[in-house]
A and B are shown apart, each in its own frame.
Chain A
């Protein structure tokens, strides 16, 4: 029976797949697209380096590394990467080889171009410096030797005939010319002066424009210098100093003709180099632009290939039958889809003769928990799963949390104006879903809000409703139907200072002299009467109402939880648990707290204001019921603590006794049942059924052994804990629901403070000029504080408390939450993860 219902997790089947080696790859690719299968690792003890497809994985890693390099080059040139939103299929193994070759070639080409480009640039820069060198030294030589008689020797080259010329010339000066960066010029000069003891002559001129340094590639100011000296030793020293200061020395012919020739040659070489560099750059750009179109598709394909091989590493390679054996969990309702996908896979790989066999196996292992969700229910399921993933096939609280969570939030948030703002915000997020889905992927806070947009929408809608019932719109009340209270005092009372209290009794009564009816006897139809907003004792009135409602809704939710545990018992056929756990639990809860609810409703409908002093104090009566103390009804004891209906004492005693009986019933019922069961088992002979082996692996077999019997003392302890937890919990959780009252009070008060202390100042200022401007500024403050304090902070607080109420008070009555989630092999989720990492 495969009933798909939202109330429980899906039924799962453990299957074995027998895949042909050729068809395996394509079949897995098909399953990856469908994302409905969770594979089990059949080789858990095998090192990742010893698995079958480690080579293919290594090749994929290499390709990924090269693609990363290509991507960084593309990003450097600021070429946009085209995102066509295409989803390419995983390529077949043959395509993999082509892809590899293409990526290799591109990688190699790009590296070559980069190296060449660097070398060309360096050359170009050196030649540029040389050009400037020649141009500037021209000036020096002209100054000193206008006729070009060759007074100097260029000592750049260490050619022996030049040295000889020098020694033979005797008085001839040598020179060294070069280029140095401007920052180092001063220290260079000083060093030269010190080292050569002032025997050198330095002339320098600044290069007017920024040029690129050959080694660093950065633009800098440079200075051309010429150092004139006499002597061999000075030459070496000067050369060393130049090296130290990283000055580039260039040969410079002092003959005018030679210089002109050199300059000419230089210009042509520079132009040629320029052309080559530009062509190289163009080529590089073209390659990168072409790559940018394809790179995203390649990345996706690679991720898919890697994940397929990773999955195939988990299979068992059966050499005898020449096939792969895979074990996987499949939801029973998807079995047909899987069959189709496997058939398609074999067709694609061209291997139709031997098809993949899908074989279902039974096991004692607990299957994973899988809920079929859509974008609406996903958010609420996340809330439930954050506490614990549902055990296999137990009732999923999400279907109820869907409504009760926003409702309890709204009870604590309760302001129609704030609720309206929250609803509009959520509505915007929901309606603009497709547009907003890809925006702001990096901001955590936005992602949290956007992910919970349906939750926020429901919270807002319920808040509008509870705001209407609390009659609270930005801390003001609305009077839609006419108040049930009218002021009927005379002027002589109302003209005095002080406060008046309106008469609450709807009909004349004996204790009142000069009775005037001020309350119509019919309450305001929807929500709280607007008169209370103006009254000084509003809080006293609403406290009582909110506390009583909080208790009522709390007890109702807890009883609902206990009934859900009945549902679980019925489904799992634990009939003993119905009698030994469910019945005592529900009887205890209802006999004490159900009785309290009945009393609340009785007091609400029975007591008029004329009997206000005699109205029973429910809290005192509950305490007296527990203590079994009933004060005597005489004139000294106040009427509020005396019995107020016939046979109250007997009824309450019976209820108390029934409740107390439940305690040992729950405590020892189940352990005794287990003891009796075990005695029956040891007395009769049992046939031990051998389940069909879940896998051939020995390690797996050990895990699937039937679970040993739990020790009896553990059963007692567990049941003791469960009993204490439940009974103490009943009382403490009921009181815990009072936070519904507490937070709604805090919210209402904060809202009122903001109005009276902030906005009223602006509203009460007169005049269009002064008043208008003041109101504008005051409104800024008021609205900012409303959004940040009331909406965000209070909203977060109410969210948290409502969540706690569900996790602890509601779910502890029935939820085990010991399952593990179903994580299917899915390309989509793998791609999303990879995108999130970037």
Chain B
């Protein structure tokens, strides 16, 4: 449960810095507004994209259906520790 919260916080802070803090640090110039817009839009889109896929996998309603031979291989390769 904590790992879930930590991930959310980490990525929100990461994209928040790019989209919310970095725009203030852009030096004055003819392109200041444009670069600020670009940063904000990029961080918003990328954060939303990550969030949707993260939340979708948080509480899956069904599990992966794997061929039994490949499942055996996975059991050996990945181990059984969650």
User: Is A494's CB under 8 angstroms from B49's CB?
Assistant: no
A488 vs B65: C-alpha distance in the bound complex, in angstroms? 13
Contact of B33 among A6, A496, A497 (CB under 8 A): A6
User: Is B68's CB under 8 angstroms from A535's CB?
Assistant: no
A543-557 residues at the B interface, CB under 8 angstroms: 544-545, 548-549, 552-553, 556
Chain A residues contacting B27 (CB-CB under 8 Å) are none
Interface 1/0 per residue, B68-82 and A, CB below 8 Å: 111110110011111
Known A469-B53, A487-B80: A501·B62 in contact at CB below 8 Å: yes
A275 vs B77: C-alpha distance in the bound complex, in angstroms? 91
Quick check: is A84 within 8 A (CB to CB) of the other chain?
no
Chain B min CB distance to A604 (Å): 4
Interface centre among B50, B66, B75 (most CB of A within 10 A): B66
A402 vs B46: C-alpha distance in the bound complex, in angstroms? 14
**Nearest B-chain residue to A374, judged by Cβ:** B31
Q: Contact residues of A with B, CB < 8 Å?
A: 4-7, 372, 374, 377, 399-400, 402-404, 407, 411, 465-466, 469, 482-489, 491, 493-504, 517-529, 531-532, 534-538, 540-541, 544-545, 548-549, 552-553, 556, 601, 604-609, 612, 615
A-B contact pairs, 22 of them (CB 8 A): A5-B33, A377-B34, A411-B49, A483-B78, A484-B57, A486-B78, A487-B75, A493-B68, A494-B69, A496-B68, A499-B68, A500-B65, A500-B68, A500-B71, A501-B62, A501-B66, A504-B60, A523-B57, A525-B54, A534-B66, A538-B64, A609-B59
Chain A residues contacting B67 (CB-CB under 8 Å) are 498-499, 534, 536
Contact of B1 among A521, A538, A607 (CB under 8 A): A521
Interface 1/0 per residue, B1-37 and A, CB below 8 Å: 1011001000000000000000000000011011001
User: Is A548's CB under 8 angstroms from B49's CB?
Assistant: no
Known A411-B49, A526-B50: A501·B72 in contact at CB below 8 Å: no
A604 vs B57: C-alpha distance in the bound complex, in angstroms? 8
A502 vs B30: C-alpha distance in the bound complex, in angstroms? 56
Known A497-B68, A522-B4: A549·B75 in contact at CB below 8 Å: no
Chain A residues contacting B55 (CB-CB under 8 Å) are 601, 604-605
Chain B min CB distance to A782 (Å): 23
Chain B residues contacting A491 (CB-CB under 8 Å) are 72
User: Is A537's CB under 8 angstroms from B33's CB?
Assistant: no
Chain A residues contacting B48 (CB-CB under 8 Å) are 552-553, 556
Chain B residues contacting A532 (CB-CB under 8 Å) are 64
Chain A residues contacting B70 (CB-CB under 8 Å) are 534
Chain A residues contacting B1 (CB-CB under 8 Å) are 521-522
**Nearest B-chain residue to A524, judged by Cβ:** B57
Chain B residues contacting A528 (CB-CB under 8 Å) are 53, 57
User: Is A486's CB under 8 angstroms from B37's CB?
Assistant: no
Known A487-B80, A497-B68, A601-B55: A609·B74 in contact at CB below 8 Å: no
User: Is A519's CB under 8 angstroms from B79's CB?
Assistant: no
Chain A residues contacting B31 (CB-CB under 8 Å) are 6, 374
User: Is B56's CB under 8 angstroms from A545's CB?
Assistant: yes
Interface centre among B1, B48, B62, B69 (most CB of A within 10 A): B62
Chain B min CB distance to A39 (Å): 27
Q: Contact residues of B with A, CB < 8 Å?
A: 1, 3-4, 7, 30-31, 33-34, 37-38, 41-42, 45-46, 48-50, 52-72, 74-75, 78-82
**Nearest A-chain residue to B1, judged by Cβ:** A521
User: Is B45's CB under 8 angstroms from A519's CB?
Assistant: no
Starting from the known contacts A522-B1, A534-B70, 11 additional A-B residue pairs (CB-CB under 8 Å) come to A402-B34, A465-B46, A469-B49, A484-B57, A487-B71, A495-B72, A498-B67, A498-B68, A517-B82, A531-B64, A605-B55
Chain A min CB distance to B22 (Å): 14
User: Is A545's CB under 8 angstroms from B53's CB?
Assistant: yes
Contact of A403 among B33, B38, B52, B58 (CB under 8 A): B38
Q: Which 5 A-B pairs have the closest CB atoms?
A: A535-B64, A523-B57, A502-B63, A504-B63, A403-B41
Total CB contacts across the A-B interface at under 8 A: 181
User: Is A494's CB under 8 angstroms from B82's CB?
Assistant: no
Chain A min CB distance to B24 (Å): 18
A536 vs B66: C-alpha distance in the bound complex, in angstroms? 6
**Nearest B-chain residue to A497, judged by Cβ:** B68
User: Is A489's CB under 8 angstroms from B71's CB?
Assistant: yes
Chain A min CB distance to B45 (Å): 5
User: Is A523's CB under 8 angstroms from B4's CB?
Assistant: yes
User: Is B82's CB under 8 angstroms from A549's CB?
Assistant: no
Interface centre among A488, A494, A556, A607 (most CB of B within 10 A): A494
User: Is A549's CB under 8 angstroms from B63's CB?
Assistant: no
**Nearest B-chain residue to A615, judged by Cβ:** B61
Chain A residues contacting B81 (CB-CB under 8 Å) are 486
Chain A residues contacting B59 (CB-CB under 8 Å) are 604-609
**Nearest A-chain residue to B38, judged by Cβ:** A403
A377 vs B37: C-alpha distance in the bound complex, in angstroms? 13
Chain A residues contacting B45 (CB-CB under 8 Å) are 403-404, 407, 553
Contact of A525 among B7, B33, B42, B68 (CB under 8 A): B7
Contact of A501 among B37, B49, B65 (CB under 8 A): B65
A700 vs B15: C-alpha distance in the bound complex, in angstroms? 55
Chain B residues contacting A526 (CB-CB under 8 Å) are 50
Interface centre among A399, A403, A601 (most CB of B within 10 A): A403
User: Is B41's CB under 8 angstroms from A400's CB?
Assistant: yes
A605 vs B1: C-alpha distance in the bound complex, in angstroms? 12
Chain A min CB distance to B61 (Å): 4
Contact of B65 among A399, A536, A605 (CB under 8 A): A536
A526 vs B49: C-alpha distance in the bound complex, in angstroms? 10
User: Is B49's CB under 8 angstroms from A549's CB?
Assistant: yes
A550 vs B37: C-alpha distance in the bound complex, in angstroms? 22
User: Is A609's CB under 8 angstroms from B61's CB?
Assistant: yes
Known A403-B45, A466-B49, A549-B49: A523·B62 in contact at CB below 8 Å: no
A520 vs B1: C-alpha distance in the bound complex, in angstroms? 10
**Nearest A-chain residue to B34, judged by Cβ:** A6
Chain A residues contacting B66 (CB-CB under 8 Å) are 487, 499-502, 531, 534-536
Chain B min CB distance to A455 (Å): 14
User: Is B53's CB under 8 angstroms from A609's CB?
Assistant: no
A73 vs B38: C-alpha distance in the bound complex, in angstroms? 54
Known A402-B38, A465-B46, A552-B52: A499·B65 in contact at CB below 8 Å: yes
User: Is A519's CB under 8 angstroms from B3's CB?
Assistant: no
Chain B residues contacting A484 (CB-CB under 8 Å) are 57, 82
Chain A residues contacting B68 (CB-CB under 8 Å) are 493-500
Chain A residues contacting B65 (CB-CB under 8 Å) are 499-502, 535-537
Chain B min CB distance to A409 (Å): 12
Chain B residues contacting A615 (CB-CB under 8 Å) are 61
Chain A residues contacting B53 (CB-CB under 8 Å) are 469, 527-528, 545, 549
Interface centre among B31, B33, B46, B68 (most CB of A within 10 A): B68
Chain B residues contacting A5 (CB-CB under 8 Å) are 33
Chain B min CB distance to A805 (Å): 14
**Nearest B-chain residue to A496, judged by Cβ:** B68
Chain B residues contacting A540 (CB-CB under 8 Å) are 62
A6 vs B3: C-alpha distance in the bound complex, in angstroms? 42
Contact of B75 among A489, A517, A607 (CB under 8 A): A489
User: Is A518's CB under 8 angstroms from B63's CB?
Assistant: yes
Chain A residues contacting B79 (CB-CB under 8 Å) are 486
Interface centre among A483, A535, A552 (most CB of B within 10 A): A535
Chain A min CB distance to B7 (Å): 5
Known A7-B33, A549-B53: A604·B58 in contact at CB below 8 Å: yes
A522 vs B61: C-alpha distance in the bound complex, in angstroms? 14
User: Is B82's CB under 8 angstroms from A486's CB?
Assistant: yes
Known A469-B53, A499-B68: A609·B75 in contact at CB below 8 Å: no
**Nearest B-chain residue to A556, judged by Cβ:** B48
Chain A residues contacting B62 (CB-CB under 8 Å) are 501, 504, 537, 540-541, 609, 612
Interface centre among B61, B70, B75 (most CB of A within 10 A): B61
